Structure 1
Amino acid sequence: MKLRRLLSVFLLAALLCGLFTVPAAALEDPDIRAKAALLVEAETGTILYDKNAHDELSIASTTKIMSALLIFEAIERGELRMDQSVTATASALRGLPEDGSTADIVEGETLTVEQLLYCMLVISANETCNILGETVAGSVDAFVERMNQRAQELGCKNTHFANTTGLTQSGHYSCAYDLYLITREAMTFEDFMTIVNTKSYEIPPTNKTEEERVLHSTNALISNWRLAGYLYSGAQGIKTGSTDAAGQCLVSSAVRGSRTLISVVLGAEKVEKENGSGYIVESFTETARLFDWGFDNFSSRQVLDENELVQEVPVALSKQVSTVAVHPAQSAEAMLPKDLNVESLTRTVTLDNETALAPIAAGDRLGEITVSYGDTEYVTVPLLAVADVSASRFLLARHAVGEFFSRPSIRIAAIALLVLIVALVLWFRFYGRNRRYGKAGSKQYRHRSYHGRRH
């Protein structure tokens, strides 16, 4: 799983740095001929090119990337094994068009999960999505529900699946950016990348066939068996797709040196050659142009050094020092257009608090620094204290008392107590005295009758 671990590091870097788009004015637009296109630097998550990347479109068999992702995740959870035998059911084969992509699997035929995945991803066999979907979820409909749930979990905003295959159906759509999110996750599985980068694969005879099946990739960037003239050095997978509604679609990746690019091209066309000798499938040619443009015009350059002192942060509650220096939590690189000078980048420091409170330990986070150019944010990294700062016990105690009495609940309670004390004082002053001496202005006299002197 070395590749998966490596790609997981790439994803972590993307989360730390955030996904962003390079300044459009920095480079000449490659003007990709398709309804939508996206090019992303895998290592950093940098969006190098974006054309209608969030438009909802038909996506044809690129749908199968999500179907495969769910299968590999089920294998990872131990719910399936690559060598597990699965038998095709009538319900899994029902409703599939006869002229669609198929491995000619029939009801009652048994293949392994691995063989079915090769059929799904190498020749885009529609029936394999339903067969494996039933195996994992119990029914095709339940598997489609899982596809939609997983899309939401991955952050897809413009995606809804109505089937497992990508066949044209109302309510089945996605966008270039969402397909990138799904593909990025699938690429963390080494077996997925092995299969999608396979030129040909042989399936031996089964319980329903006497001859082996030889599968040849539909991806002309890695195999010229079906179409010649499109091979791209460094291309690795990933998935083709084409229907009348979706046009020519291709999700692909390519490696050059230490760099990996991921591209999505949707809604490209077949264009007849000028000499009339055939046609050009522009999903392949435009993807190749995107890769060349990305590799040729961008380079990774260091924009932050973890050892540099960015600034001094004011410190309170310490008698030793009044400031502490901060440094980036890590060195950081950004994928920049080659004609963009690093010195022209803008650094913005945001402190967690205007004044840091002692005690402070070296390595404590005190803020963050963002490196940007124009409206494009390239990197955001935490800022850490470079040294310990001890606190004054007296200042700390005074601060604690102040903090205690500054709490809204304490202040309300204090006010209520004060009101109660005032009320009690007034009560004792007026009502208590009245009880002791009687009401003011009133007098009681004891009347005695005079009966004269007794003789």
Structure 2
Amino acid sequence: MEKAAAERTSADEAAAEETAAEEAVTEETAAEETAAEEAAIEETVTEETGSEETAADEAAAEETAPEESASEKENPQGLTSGVRQLVPREAAAAVEALFPEEPAQGTTAGEAPSAAGETEQDPAEEPQQEIGGEETARENPDLAISSPSAVLMEVSTGTILYEKDAHEARSPASITKIMTLLLIFQELEAGNITLDEMVTTSAHAKSMGGSQVYLEEGEQQTVETLIKCIVVASGNDASVAMAEHIAGSEEEFVSRMNQEAERLGLENTHFEDCCGLTESTGHYTTAADVAVMSRQLVERYPQVLEYSSIWMENITHETRQGTTEFGLTNTNKMIRTYEGCVGLKTGSTSVAKYCVSSVAQRDGMTMLAVIMAAPDPKTRFADAAVLLNYGFGSCSLYVDEDTAPGAPAEVKGGVEEEVSWKYEEPFRYLDTGGAALDAVEKELEIRQVKAPVKKGDVVGRAVYRLNGQEIGSIRLISSQEVRKAGYGDALKKAAGYLIAGVRL
């Protein structure tokens, strides 16, 4: 790898600059150095044939200047509280110290295994809010975001709070694995696989370069372990092993990824592999589409955050060569440096540059920041932090917790005279104007329905108002079936009344 260094020759310049960054953005497809190696490695920018800065080095030595002092852990540069919204430049300054300039470091495929390894080549009747981000809260705020493409979304409502060139098709690198993980969790939900099921590594899976966990051909690991390898250490080999286990081949799995993208309405997304290692122009997505697939994963399968929030964990390799421990370290340094960050996935290659889909939770809200094509890792994380901080500082979320059903709806012409109901889904309202959400009022509008009534039929709606203005509504649906009354039912009812009258 070539190192471009600019040395100062005069004595007063001797203490000045680090080695100049190479013109080519380092390609994160090779695994990164172990924590111990990173601590000692010189701060040069290598052309990582496919590997981002290791998260392991962040665990051990994290650049020359420490990122977190004791005071920063309690209140890291104003980023740990949603009470005050930082103005753009103030926010940018706040994250400057949080994510100091760093070179992209890594190893080639032939070098020693990393303890972590972002390598990445590094929803009538819509179905359960499948498509996120249809609603934009207001015009873009003036934020100091230098990355080419960015999106900020509040996850539970799908509200887009900020976007910048969000529909520009770009190479996604390892954030490709968000779709891979979505399909894996769908298989778990369907019962087609289980977390403790064993997966055997193929020669093809073993051959993956870039970020990897160094699986050997024939080696077996559980589905759960491989999920950790994918989401924590960005293992390309683990991604392919899971793809083959689920679909029989990586090609078939990728076909399913594209089918899911089409189902979600992702018109500017197409995949050619399951890990993001490829640099093909046929493998692309957008920041807006990444936000949608990320929301799908987090909303439908929140357990993924239990894995993506892991900072460090060991796995055990059991092969013909023996048993060895291998350390996974999260490639997303915001897990450790940004309060409430619980995921989700990073990625980078020489073509994609630096990308991240970052999820953070505070004050009952879940914010999602997507950054694509950042020029360097520091900018990637700093821009994500600015977006998240803006979201938490400017938004309040109202959630209707009182969803107990009220008086039943009247049924006309049914064997039953009334039917019980329930809320179709929880009501959430995201305010971005500083309104007092304790002033939200709810009114139930329940109508008479005609038999037959099917389970799920609409019987009314709950209307929500703030300061007299409607801010939204939720449909109320039947929680049971009511059959239409026939002639025999009418006779039975009449006989019942007659008997009751005789008794009186």
TM-score (norm 1): 0.62
Partners in 2 of 1:285 and 1:70 — Cα distance?
Answer: 30
Residue of structure 1 equivalent to 2:350: 244
Matches within 5 A, 1:56-455: 56-94=169-207, 96-97=208-209, 100-167=210-277, 168-187=279-298, 188-210=300-322, 211-223=324-336, 231-270=337-376, 281-300=378-397, 333-338=428-433, 379=472, 381=474
Which protein is bigger by CA-based radius of gyration? Answer: 1
**Native 8 Å contact 1:20 1:378 kept in 2:** no
Q: Does the C-alpha gap of structure 1 residues 102 and 157 become closer, same or farther in structure 2, counting only changes over 3 Å?
A: same
Structure-1 separation of matches of 2:388 and 2:319:
44
Measure how far apart 1:128 and its partner are.
Answer: 1.1
Please state how far the C-alpha of 1:334 moved relative to its aligned partner. 2.6
Matched, 1:22 2:151: no
**One-letter amino acid of the structure 1 residue matched with residue 135 of structure 2:** F
Q: Alpha-carbon deviations, 1:14-37, whole Å to 9, x = none?
A: 579983111217xx4213221211
CA contact (8 A) 2:132 2:292 kept: no
Structure 2: gaps (5+ residues)? 1-122, 404-422, 438-446, 452-456, 478-504
| Shift of residue 261, structure 1, vs aligned partner | 0.8
In the alignment, is residue 31 of structure 1 matched against residue 137 of structure 2? no
Offset of 1:197 from its aligned partner?
0.9
| Contact 2:133/2:292 (8 A) holds in 1 | no
Shift of residue 338, structure 1, vs aligned partner:
2.9
Deviations 1:247-293 (A, max 9, x none): 111111111121111111111122xxxxxxxxx61111111111111
CA 1:332/1:195 → structure 2, altered by over 3 Å: closer, same or farther?
closer
Q: Pick one of 18, 39, 43 that aligns with 2:156.
A: 43
Output one character per residue of 1:19-64: Cα deviation in whole Å (capped at 9) or x when no partner. Answer: 3111217xx4213221211111122221111112222111110001
CA distance in 1, matches of 2:386, 2:213: 32
The structure carrying a bigger helix percent of its residues is: 1
> Aligned partners of 1:83, 1:295: CA distance in 2, in Å?
37
**Aligned-pair distance for 1:76?**
2.1
Aligned equivalents of 2:461 and 2:365: distance in 1?
31
Aligned to 1:212, the other structure's residue is in SS state strand
- Cα separation, 2, equivalents of 1:359 and 1:108: 62
Amino acid at match of 1:84: E
Equivalent residue letter for 2:272? A
Displacement of 1:136 in angstroms is 0.7
Structure 2 partner of 1:420: none
**In structure 1, distance between residues paired with 2:464 and 2:130:** 14
Structure 1 residues 291 and 156: CA distance shift in structure 2, 3 A: same
Which structure dedicates a bigger proportion of its chain to strand? 1
Number of residue pairs matched by the alignment: 325
Q: Matched residue of 2:331: which SS?
A: coil
Bigger mean CA offset, 12-21 vs 196-205: 12-21
Change (3 A) 1:268 1:365: same
User: Residue 163 of structure 1 aligns to which amino acid in structure 2?
Assistant: D
User: What are structure 1's unaligned runs of at least 5 residues?
Assistant: 1-7, 224-230, 271-279, 307-327, 343-355, 385-455
Looking at structure 2, the residues matched to 114 and 184 of structure 1 have their Cα atoms a distance apart, in angstroms, of: 21
- Tell me how far 1:234 sits from its aligned partner: 0.5
Runs of 4+ with deviation above 4 angstroms: 11-18, 328-333, 339-342, 356-360, 363-372, 380-384
Conservation of the 8 A alpha-carbon contact between 2:194 and 2:223: yes
Give the C-alpha shift of residue 381 in structure 1.
4.9
Q: Deviations over 1:120-169 (max 9, x none)?
A: 11111111111111111111100100110111112212110000111222
Q: 1:301 to 1:182 in 2, by over 3 A?
A: closer
Q: Distance in 2 between matches of 1:205 and 1:267?
A: 34
Q: In 1, distance between residues paired with 2:319 and 2:367?
A: 42
Alpha carbons of structure 1 residues 177 and 358: separation in structure 2 relative to 1, 3 Å:
closer
CA distance in 1 between partners of 2:242 and 2:255 (Å) = 14
Counterpart position of 2:493: none
Percent of aligned positions that are identical: 33
Task: Tell me how far apart the structure 2 counterparts of residues 333 and 101 of structure 1 sit (CA, whole Å).
Answer: 39
RMSD value over aligned CA atoms?
4.2
